[in-house]
Amino acid sequence: MGKPTGFLEFQRQPIPNRPPLERVKDWKEVHADRNDDDVSGQASRCMDCGTPYCHTGINIGGMASGCPVNNLIPEWNDLVYKGRWEEALERLRKTNNFPEFTGRVCPAPCEGSCVLGVIEPQVTIKNIECSIIDRGWEEGWLPPQPPEQRTGKKVAVIGSGPAGLSCADQLNQAGHEVTVYERADRIGGLLMYGIPNMKLDKREVVERRVNLMRDEGIKFVTNAHIGVTHDIADIRQESDAVVLCCGATNPRDLPIEGRDLDGVHFAMEFLTTNTRSLLDNDFDESRPAIDAKGKHVVVIGGGDTGTDCVGTSLRHGCASVVQLEIMAQPPGERAPNNPWPEWPRTLKVDYGQEEAQAIQGDDPREYLVTTKRMIGNNSGAVSEVEISGVEWKHHEVTKRMGPQDVAGSQRTIKADLVLLAMGFLGPEQTLVEKLGLKTDARSNVDAPFEKYTTSVEGVFSAGDMRRGQSLVVWAINEGRGAARECDRYLMKRTTLP
């Protein structure tokens, strides 16, 4: 696939981001405009591998390797190199309902398993994918395509994140009447409120796709918190099947002294109120409900959500931002115990850290640090955070590795706003309990992989609600799989992939 000597002639060159000091002044997507000729050159680096690892998603070492939706990557790389963009789009849409989402926010496990990555920097697969779908929208290659016939079957999909949307899209293509219920005021779930606008534009990308799905016949109901504002019994009575895609939205808390002080929030509270203010009035009428302007911000958690909190705080005009990580700093290159094709556990500088470096002069991340307590002022608001250095040692009692405080390393840092970005523990239990669903040891809905059937007849589950906190691309995979099995349940057979 691609040009036989492409990987020898072209160096890896991702589509660049806009300069940090420019982009922190707005909420537009961070990346610069693409050049299709450059993208074609990058696609030519695909190596015609005898056994390509990029398009087969598996778990190795507890992390994804390869594409979970089995994108036909070598095929559309070859087509882009040859200038056959519309055919490349057809290949891409065979496996991925929303390439414009994954092409922006997926960490690209496909690139981690790229065979070229054994000897050279890997192919820019994620950029190429995003370029294909963006050009498709620009060229008008994505008109509404409602199904030619309807089956008369009704399916309720609860949750409009990536799992719910991909499930709804597939079931609609199969001819079923699909209604998607979302408890927020806008459709998109994690895509709308969990990921900030500078990574994934809401109006031009998310709402564009939702509008296309609406034109293809899918019904969307917002402000519908099933189990709270709407009775699940009524939903089941009106539907032939129900698919639960409610996500893993129960955040990991930090039960330490001072947790209840004003100014301490879960990361998703911060990100959600920010995006809602942006979409409601572009910040013209009021500041966000949780505002970082002029504040010393401490982000606890080193993952993508923590990075989003860093980038958002900088755009608010914070006085400073620090990101605390309990793990050690990853190495610059693969460690011996992290061989290809595993996901490379190496140091990465994401957009938020790059912006903080440009403004503050240093990477905002501090590694091997744990938070001991939060200290308040006379008004009951957080003013400092006490932290301690840690080292990872083997515990004699638990027989497991764990963090232990380093003696004499305790210190305090300024903190007017503390954001907890430590991941999620599983789905909220209200709907689970009302349906009487069986759960696993981690409180996720018990529904076998590739079957997605819960303990209640006619009720399916997919995405983070079933598998736990994971990637957007895994959610799309699961939504497609749940749609296939739901279609089989309704029709006794299925043609969905």
- From residue 187, alpha-carbon distances to 209, 274, 364 in Å are 10, 16, 33
Same domain? 242 vs 317 = no
In a domain, 497, yes or no: no
In a domain, 459, yes or no: yes
Same domain? 306 vs 400 = yes
Same domain? 408 vs 430 = no
How far is Cα 161 from Cα 412, in angstroms, rounded to an integer?
39
Q: What is the CATH number of the domain that holds 68?
A: 1.10.1060.10
151: its two tokens: 């089956």
Same domain? 296 vs 410 = yes
In a domain, 438, yes or no: yes
Q: What is the pLDDT of residue 396?
A: 80
DSSP class of residue 191 equals I
| Bridge partners, residue 419, by sequence | 265, 299
Same domain? 417 vs 368 = yes
In a domain, 144, yes or no: no
Same domain? 75 vs 168 = no
301: its two tokens: 């958690």
What are the φ and ψ backbone dihedral angles of 410, each rounded to 5 degrees?
-65, 140
Q: What is the pLDDT of residue 307?
A: 97
497: its two tokens: 């992939």
468: left (phi over 0), alpha (psi -120 to 50) or beta: left
Q: What is the pLDDT of residue 336?
A: 93
Give the domain extent around 259. Answer: 253-422
Last residue of a domain, one of 422, 455, 472: 422
In a domain, 135, yes or no: yes
**pLDDT tens per residue across all 497 residues of the chain:** 678 899 999 999 999 999 999 999 999 999 999 999 999 999 999 988 888 999 888 888 888 899 999 999 999 999 999 999 999 999 999 999 999 999 999 999 999 999 999 999 999 999 999 999 999 999 999 999 999 999 999 999 999 999 999 999 999 999 999 999 999 999 999 999 999 999 999 999 999 999 999 999 999 999 999 999 999 999 999 999 999 999 999 999 999 999 999 999 999 999 999 999 999 988 776 788 899 999 999 999 999 999 999 999 999 999 999 999 999 999 999 999 999 999 999 999 999 999 999 999 999 999 999 999 999 999 999 999 999 999 999 888 778 899 999 999 999 999 999 999 999 999 999 999 999 999 999 999 999 999 999 999 999 999 999 999 999 999 999 999 999 999 999 999 999 99
Same domain? 131 vs 208 = no
How many structural domains does the chain have? 3
In a domain, 146, yes or no: no
Same domain? 229 vs 267 = no
Q: What is the pLDDT of residue 3?
A: 86
Same domain? 125 vs 212 = no
Classify the C-alpha dihedral 112-118-121-127 as positive or negative.
Answer: negative
* Assessment of whether the complete model's pTM goes beyond 0.75: yes
Q: What is the pLDDT of residue 285?
A: 66
Contacts of 3 (CB under 8 A, 6+ apart): 9, 44, 45, 81
Same domain? 235 vs 384 = no
SS3 category, 223: coil
3: left (phi over 0), alpha (psi -120 to 50) or beta: beta
Same domain? 181 vs 303 = no
Burial class for 300, CB neighbours closer than 10 Å (0-12, 13-18, 19+):
buried
Last residue of a domain, one of 398, 422, 446: 422
Q: What is the CATH number of the domain that holds 443?
A: 3.50.50.60
Computed over its alpha carbons, how large is the radius of gyration of the chain? 23
What are the φ and ψ backbone dihedral angles of 99, each rounded to 5 degrees?
-65, -25
In a domain, 496, yes or no: no
In this structure, which amino acid lies at residue 308?
A: D
Last residue of a domain, one of 391, 422, 453: 422
Q: What is the pLDDT of residue 439?
A: 97
Q: What is the pLDDT of residue 62?
A: 83
In a domain, 148, yes or no: no
Q: What is the pLDDT of residue 1?
A: 61
Same domain? 158 vs 109 = no
